[in-house]
Structure 1
Amino acid sequence: MPHRDPGRRERIIRACLDVIAESGVAGTSHRRVAAAAGVPLGSMTYHFSGMDELLHEAFTRFAQSVSDQFERRMAAAADVDAAKRAIVAIITDDVFDTHRDLVLTHELYTLAAREPAFRTLTNAWMARSRAALERHFDPTTARLLDALVEGLTIHRALDVEPQDPALVTAAVERLT
């Protein structure tokens, strides 16, 4: 089976994230993911031992992707002022730039709050964010900035008004 469709596993993982973004973790099933991926239902059990493995793999990919973007943004900052601007951009523009990514983030957080096995993903994600921030800030400030990023992205996801970059800039300035 895999030699005739080498991209099938990846398609399933991408489709799983799409289904989660549309229906939430609670509304995600093997049947829905298989339909979204355009694969036979039997492919699900061929590639994944169960829904937990599929969810873990999908959320691992998602968290790695967001962390990679975050790290690239922080690594590109040449100095502390550029790092502050990068944090504002992370919150207001690029890392969580789609509603889909914001929804997936919240679905992962909710799952991790209930299922300890998924906390390893969120903890690794937070550790990577703090390490990226520590390129420019001391560990305590990096931890506070990480919490600010998380909190303001939650607000961005739930607010009906667009987020004001001036307010985000002021918050970053106060913490740093």
Structure 2
Amino acid sequence: MLQAAIDLIAEGGVQAVSHRAVAARAGLPASTVGYFFAAIDDLTAEAVRMYMAREMAAYRDLAREAGTLDKLVDLVGHRAVDVRLALAQVGVYLEAARNPALRGAAVEILSGFRALAGELLQSLDHPRAAAAAPAVVALLDGFMLAQLADPEAPIDPDALIEAIRALVMGFLLTWSTP
């Protein structure tokens, strides 16, 4: 059911999710979805949580494989964007701006990815991990949004890697004012 909801969000936005549509996509009787989720916003939020957990696990795997900050940046930069999942994520972000019932789920996604970025940077001994993490997530989301808006101009992994490196390294600098 949850994957069916994510698929529907990716295809038609949050408004495409209904009990009937999810049941049809999941190959279940129409009443099944309503039995588990009385409110469609609850189903949508839970699907988003599932998506977030899966994405966070993938990034943790990358961090274990990387071992160094430079290698992690390279792996993240070359990680293929799953357009369908990215559409679902952006769809939830946009709908959360209009629908307070989904705002908690969107905040969970953002908070989860920020915390994960902080953990990964901290595990690689970045001294300003907590400060850099939200900026790294915003940068990645921006690149993802650009990819979705113009699929004919795919993200240049090298440009993304350079942007992440510059951002992360920038947080290492000490800025002082005269």
TM-score (normalised: structure 1): 0.80
Q: CA deviation digits over 1:144-168, x for unaligned, max 9?
A: 1111111111111112212112211
The equivalent position to 2:70 in structure 1, one of 62, 70, 81, is 81
CA contact (8 A) 2:52 2:109 kept: yes
What is the Cα-based RMSD across aligned positions, in Å? 1.9
User: Given the superposition, is the C-alpha separation of residues 120 and 86 from structure 1 closer, same or farther in structure 2, using an over 3 Å criterion?
Assistant: farther
Where structure 2 has 5 or more consecutive residues not aligned to the other structure, the ranges are 170-178
68, 85, 93: which one aligns with 1:109:
93
1:140 corresponds in structure 2 to 131
2:103 equivalent in structure 1: 119
Superposition deviation, residue 28 in structure 1: 2.3
Q: How big is each residue's C-alpha offset from its partner over 1:93-127, in whole Å with a ceiling of 9 and x where there is no partner?
A: 24xx3221111111111122223343333333333
Task: Specify every segment of 5 or more residues in structure 1 that has no aligned partner in the other structure, as ranges.
Answer: 1-11
The aligned residue for residue 164 of structure 1 is 156
Q: Tell me how far apart the structure 1 counterparts of residues 65 and 114 of structure 2 sit (CA, whole Å).
A: 16
TM-score, scaled relative to structure 2: 0.79
Q: Contact between 2:41 and 2:102, CA under 8 Å: does it hold in 1?
A: no
CA–CA distance in 2 between the matches of 1:130 and 1:74? 15
> How many residues get paired?
160
